[in-house]
Amino acid sequence: MVNKVIVVGFLGKDPEIRFTPSGAAVCKFPVATSEKWIDQQGQKQERTEWHNIVVWGKQAERCGQYLAKGRQVYVEGSIHTRNYDDRDGNKRYITEIKARDVRFLGGGGRTEGHPDRGSGSAAPPDSDDARQQIEDDDIPF
């Protein structure tokens, strides 16, 4: 059996990064994908699907540092559904993609003026400064 998914889409909001009590990084962000088609009446149709992405470890830290709303990403991972009880005691279910590989693609996601990224305080992943600071083994793509 295989549980593998590949999603290429755009971040719907800035990633949220947290750390577990043991110090492991976990980053969550929504990615939107769109599907366009012409219906039987000849009308253009479009449907957007939202995917909840969860990334762990060093890759999560990089996602939190370099990704921003509007940035295009490639995500490869597996689909997991979990349940929890909400504030009223109702059982809720959420389906997430547990990412094994996140690749930062072109355009979108501005860093200037962002409080966590500053203007120039963190080099974008494709700049010479970032290449010098990041070891080859650390690069998530």
| Residues of the chain where predicted confidence (pLDDT) is lower than 70 | 107-141
How far apart, in whole angstroms, are the C-alpha atoms of residue 103 and residue 105? 6
Tell me which fold the domain 5-36+44-138 belongs to: OB fold (Dihydrolipoamide Acetyltransferase, E2P) (2.40.50)
Query: Which residue stretches of 32-109 are H helix?
Result: 57-66
Evaluate whether 104 touches 71 at the Cβ level (below 8 Å).
yes
- pLDDT for the residue numbered 130: 35
Beta partners for 47? Answer: 35
- Tokens in use for 76? 């490869």
The CA distance from 68 to 12, in Å, is 9
Domain locations along the chain = 5-36+44-138
Whole-structure pTM value:
0.71
Q: Write out the two tokens for 123.
A: 């080099």
pLDDT recorded at residue 11: 96
Q: How far apart are the first and last CA of the chain?
A: 26
pLDDT at 126: 40
pLDDT of residue 106: 77
